Amino acid sequence: MTQPIHQHHLQIRVTYKETDGQRRVHHANYLNYFERGRVEMLRAIGIRYRDLEDQGMMLVVSEMNIQYHSAAEFDDLLDLETSLMEVRKVRMRHQYRITRDGELVVSASSVIACVGPDGNPKRLPVFDFHGTT
């Protein structure tokens, strides 16, 4: 099993607006949680999305795989672990785990591509991805 390059932990309290009519987290909101985890992890490493945008770059999701294990509900306190698994020329691969009281709720992986203003792949800037975890 590959060791993560960097990991970040974040706690999320489920709000009512993130749930469906049965007070369970709507599946699309997990994508928002993953994005929040990714943004906070990159910020902790020293990478700000705004700085990338100022350089004419965007990070876009090119692949997402999600496995649902149990339902999260309104007011649950979720633990989100975001792991940076791989950095290659124009892409990063992440893994995510969301747990509630130690129980796995959702696991996922994504590939994030770096593109320039023309929509073509663009090499990621050099950052110290091996910062403290």
Can you tell me the distance from the alpha carbon of 50 to that of 131, in angstroms, rounded to the nearest whole number? 20
Assess whether 20 carries a catalytic annotation: yes
> DSSP assignment of 4-56, as one string?
PSEEEEEEEEPPGGGB-TTSBBPHHHHHHHHHHHHHHHHHHHT--HHHHHHTT
- CA torsion angle 64 65 71 72 (round to 10): -40
Can you tell me the distance from the alpha carbon of 52 to that of 114, in angstroms, rounded to the nearest whole number? 9
Strand 91-100 relative to strand 103-115, pairing: antiparallel
What type of residue sits at position 117?
P
Give the residue numbers annotated as catalytic, written as ranges: 20
